[in-house]
Amino acid sequence: MSLKDIRLRSNLTQEEAAQLLGVTRRTYVNYEAGKIDESSLKYKYVVETLQKATLIDENHGILTCSDLMPKAKQRKKAMSICLSQCR
């Protein structure tokens, strides 16, 4: 299975996959284009990270990174407001 197939199964864009891996979008595009040795530890890390990108929530079923990002941003903003009021 190719990196693109794995990414699509995880319902990620190239930009989301790059952010997840901590690389630029251009670097990730190069990975999908085959400019990474499939026997390398880096390749194995990329595959494992992309495969773990889909999470399961008992109330909503499978959640993707794009499902989680708005919630994480809301929580971060709420925590920031709360902390500023506590000071």
- Please, what is the average pLDDT of the chain? 78
Does residue 44 carry a pLDDT above 70?
yes
pLDDT, tens only, 19-31: 989 999 999 999 9
- Radius of gyration (Cα) for the chain, nearest Å? 16
Per residue in 53-79, pLDDT (tens digit) is 765 555 555 556 666 666 666 666 655
Residues 57, 59, 63, 67, Cα dihedral to 10°: -120
**Residues 5-18: what's their mean pLDDT?**
89
Q: What is the DSSP string of 51-74?
A: HTT-EEETTTEEE-HHHHHHHHHH
Q: Please state the pTM of the whole predicted model.
A: 0.60
